[in-house]
Amino acid sequence: MPPRRRGASGYRGVRLRPNGRYYSEIRSGDLRLSLGTYETAHEAARAFDAAAWRLGRPRGQMHFQDVYTLQQALDVAPPPRLNTAQDRAKHAARQRRLLVAQEDERVMAEWRRRHPEDVACEQVYWARRREEDTRRRREERLDRHRRKALANAEAHIVAAGGRSFFTENDDRWLDIWLSTSDDTDDDDDGDDGSD
């Protein structure tokens, strides 16, 4: 029987898979023996040669002529990448998610084509939401600036020996205290006089 011709990978018994990895197999009589999946065509061809040595094939059917014994062939052949049941389950789940996403995109495109008024309403809604969010963030920022300016003014009054016009329950008092205190003790933390 003449040797099998080499495929697109450049090696006999090695095929490129759609995922970019290389699959290696060897025939033994009517059986097709799977040797596993590898990252490169070279690794898959090394695995083919190790299997050919085990099957007692002539060296002319092997890819690499630099190997002279079965042990050398086994030493240079990489272990196959194992595809476990968990790998297959993950792949199937990814495929299902991809199909759902593609179908969702197709249905949304059809919906946009059939209902342009809904699309326009949705765009108006999101534009209004963006404006409200921007206005709210601007008001919060201005409030923080006002509170900080008030706290700084109060800190200057307190630092100059004046009396504060805030009560301790006012949350602006915390701003003043944090901006003016530089020596914080562990004793002051959480001490609210409720012992």
Using alpha carbons, select from 28, 64, 68 the residue that is nearest to residue 44.
Answer: 64
**What is the per-residue pLDDT across 57-75, written as a single tens digit (0 to 9) for each?**
777 777 777 777 777 777 7
Asked whether 33 and 25 are in contact (CB, 8 A), the reply is yes
Average pLDDT (176-187) is 51
**What is the per-residue pLDDT across 128-155, written as a single tens digit (0 to 9) for each?**
999 999 999 999 998 888 888 877 777 7
pLDDT of residue 121: 92
Residue 64, classified by CB atoms within 10 Å of its CB into exposed (0-12), middle (13-18) or buried (19+), is middle
| Amino acid identity for residue 59 in this structure | R
pLDDT of residue 128: 95
